Structure formats: C-alpha cells, structure tokens
Structure 1
Amino acid sequence: MTCIKYVLFDVDGTLMDAVENQRRVWHAWAAQYGLDGAEVYATALRTRPVETFAAVVPDADPDECLALLHALEDEDVRTGSYAAFEGAAELLAGLPADRWALVTSNYEHRVRGRFERTGLPMPELVIDAASVAEGKPSPVPYLTAAEKLGADPAECLVIEDAPSGVRSGLDAGMTVWTVNTPAPHPDAHRHFPTLAEAAPHIAAALG
C-alpha cells in the first residue's frame, strides 16, 4: 500500500462549522429578492450558486446575484460568529506546514479571515474556487493540490464531510476519510463521527 505523505483538508464542515453562517447568508440574500429564505437555502445546499440563481431568480442577472452573495459572505467573515471544530487547531499545528493543504470551494481571503479569527494555522498551499476551472465533485481541485505539492495522488489523504468532496477525492485516486457526519459515505475508505476522533489517526497516517 502506498504510504500517505500529504493530507488535504476540506474547510467548511470539515475543519470549521459554517452551517449557520451559510444559512444566514443565503437567508439575507433571499430577502434582497423578496424570496423565502428557507426555500432558497434548501436549493443552495443541492446546487452551485449559479445554478441556485437560475432556479430561484431565473430573470435576474447572475453576475449581480453573485456579487451580492460575495458581499454578504465577506461581511460574514468580518462579523459572523463561528468556530473551528474540536481538535482542529491542535491537529493542524502538529502537521508539517508543507505536508498539508486546504482544498475549498470557498475563496482564500475568506478562509484566511476565518482562520485568523479562530486561531487556526494556515498551510503553505490553499486551492480555492479561483484556483481551478472545475469545482468539486470534479477531481480537478484535489489533483491540482497534489500537482502543486509535487505529490502522487496515491500519497494523499483527503479529509471531507460532503458527498461532492468525497467524490472529488476518490476520482482523483486518493484515500478519502469522512468526518462530522452521523453516517459514513458509502465509498469513503474510513469514517469518523467527529474531527476530534479522526485527529490522532490523521496524524498517525502522516507520521
């Protein structure tokens, strides 16, 4: 079996609890268009933003929709209340900075802002929404991370919580563990109910 040499982390839902933040942002966005926040958020959970806009405000300018969403998300980074999952800070601080990376569908400046506010250490590499032409569930984000690290995909361990991220990591040819969900993804290699429970096993896999 190939030795694990790198760990690639998703961010929202994996290292940081951002569910309430995402819900508040989408409710605020929906209010600007006179829409029901709960219905819009339910749609946003299943689709990418551009697809959400097309479904709930088909006649609106998607660029304007996205600009408003980004403004609300940036404001949330500055003023929102959120926290890292238990064990995240200790786990990341104990990993060599050049042996792990973040692979997120968010944008790097928001991730950095959240990490600064919650005291999480940053790695040397962040693959964000602006880094790739295709997002999860495409394997491109995780393959891009491996390429920039100089890693064989088979040497990479992916830590995820969402089905789209699991599929992205698996299709990239990587080992995938899931955390922070009550039930395991059927195709993930290993599952832990919480990040805290996974932390010692992640450190041991890399060590």
Structure 2
Amino acid sequence: MTGGITPSTRPRYVLFDVDGTLMDAVSNQRQVWRAWANRYGLDADEVYRVALLTRPTETFAQVAADHDPHECLTALHELEDEDVRSGVYTAFDGAAELLHALPRGSWALVTSNYEHRVRGRFRRTGLPMPDLVVDAAAVAEGKPSPVPYLRAAALLGAEPQDCLVIEDAPSGVRSGLRAGMTVWGVNSEAAVEGVHRHFGSLRDAVPHILAFASGARGDTAA
C-alpha cells in the first residue's frame, strides 16, 4: 500500500441525529411548543427555552407542575403529529446525497423523537427511508446518556469504535462521546465542546463522512 489514507478492513457505521442535523425543524418545534403553551395559558417563549434543554416530561415538571403530565404529553403528541401531517420541513443541503451514497445497513438514526414522526418527516422531505431508527420509545434513557447510541450500534452489529456520530447539539455530542464513538458536529458556527471534528454545515461534512464510511483511516479525527 502506498502512502496517504489507507482503508480499514473493519466495517464502518454512521449514526445520525435528525433534527438540526439532517433536517431543519427548529421553526416546527417552536410552533408546536407555542401551541402547547397557549393551550395551557403559559408563556410560550419561556416554555420553549425550557423545552430546548429538557425532555418533555421534565419540561412539564418545570413549567406546568400543576397539570397532569400524561395529559400534557398527550396534548404535545397530538400537536406534533399534526405538524408532521401539515408542517413544512426542509432537509439540509447534502442530506439526500449523503444518505443515498451510504450503503444500506451502514447507517441509522438516533433520535429523541418517535419513529413514526421521523418517517413521516422523511417522506415529506424525500430523504431515503432508514432501515433502523432508535427513538425515544426504544431506550429507557435518552441523550446525553450513551444508551441510545449504544443501542443503535448493537442493533447494527457494530463496535462503538467503528461508529461515527453526526450531531448538532451538546446533549447528543455527550451521548456519542460517552458511548465511546467518534463524534463530529455539524450546522453550527462554533464547535460543540468535545467533538472530534466540526463542520459549519452538513454539506461541508459530506465527503468526510463518506470517506469514514469507506474505511479511510485518515478521516477519523481533526
């Protein structure tokens, strides 16, 4: 083998977050939480601020402690399902090209959302449908716990050290790092603390992700 990047004989896998990584859903999330807050007579901006940092049940405990959390969650799910049916979603530049180029069985989605909504959004944006989605219902602990990413690796038959995590948010980055995986950040001006590499956009990361998936050892870290 001549000098330069050398291929690895071990299979490589890519694990993607969804919202903020493969598709832009910020405005949808804000609208859903605003509608939910209005239903309960709460300050929508404050509710959304808390929701960005916590899981829904934790959000309810902070902003609507006097309401039944099961009722709160049902209301939120209704609004989210309606948004999947009628909302406007946009895949980030490069997402379709990237997912079509990755071999089947070499990638999965790891999300704090629910699988039926993710698949609905993928249909709306025209992204290729994933074979594997590890969603909120699949694990007892969500991000930043390593459990979601470890679960995805196990289902793919992958070792953590052979997995690349693509994330945009601190909790997801911590999840991937705690799982012992390579973690790259995308779609932000500043790098999230801890990432092995940072790209300002998903488009910028596409050739490097494909190189990793092909087994190029020279494209694993900064």
TM-score range, shorter chain: over 0.9
Is 2:54 aligned against 1:47? Answer: yes
Deviation string for 1:6-65 (max 9, x for gaps)?
000000000010000000000000000011111111111111111111111111000000
Find the partner of 1:32 among 34, 39, 42.
39
SS of alignment partner, residue 211 of structure 2: helix
Contact kept in structure 1, 2:165 and 2:182, CA below 8 Å = yes
State the TM-score, normalized to the length of structure 1. 0.98
Is 2:100 aligned against 1:113? Answer: no
Q: Provide the C-alpha distance between the structure 2 equivalents of 1:7 and 1:142, rounded to a whole number of angstroms.
A: 10
Find the partner of 1:96 among 94, 103, 114.
103
Q: Provide the C-alpha distance between the structure 2 equivalents of 1:133 and 1:186, rounded to a whole number of angstroms.
A: 25
Amino acid at match of 1:63: H
Equivalent in the alignment of 1:134: 141
Shift of 1:4: 6.3
Contact kept in structure 2, 1:4 and 1:154, CA below 8 Å = no
Contact kept in structure 1, 2:89 and 2:124, CA below 8 Å = no
Amino acid at match of 1:123: P
Find the partner of 1:200 among 198, 202, 207.
207
Matched-pair identity in % = 71
Equivalent in the alignment of 2:26: 19
Amino acid at match of 1:49: P
5 Å-filtered alignment, 1:142-157, equals: 142-157=149-164
Task: Pick the structure with greater CA Rg.
Answer: 2
Equivalent in the alignment of 1:191: 198
Shift of 1:104: 0.4
Q: Provide the C-alpha distance between the structure 2 equivalents of 1:168 and 1:178, rounded to a whole number of angstroms.
A: 13
Equivalent in the alignment of 1:60: 67
SS of alignment partner, residue 157 of structure 1: strand
SS of alignment partner, residue 40 of structure 1: helix
SS of alignment partner, residue 141 of structure 1: helix
Structure 2: unaligned runs, 5 residues or longer: 1-5, 215-222
Amino acid at match of 1:148: L
Q: Provide the C-alpha distance between the structure 1 equivalents of 2:78 and 2:101, rounded to a whole number of angstroms.
A: 34
SS of alignment partner, residue 136 of structure 2: coil
Structure 1: unaligned runs, 5 residues or longer: none
SS of alignment partner, residue 46 of structure 1: coil
Shift of 1:97: 1.4
Is 2:170 aligned against 1:163? Answer: yes
Q: Provide the C-alpha distance between the structure 1 equivalents of 2:37 and 2:125, rounded to a whole number of angstroms.
A: 28
Q: CA RMSD in A?
A: 1.2
Q: Provide the C-alpha distance between the structure 2 equivalents of 1:80 and 1:57, rounded to a whole number of angstroms.
A: 26
Amino acid at match of 2:37: A
CA gap 1:86/1:10 in 2 versus in 1, 3 angstroms: same
State the TM-score, normalized to the length of structure 2. 0.91
Shift of 1:186: 2.3
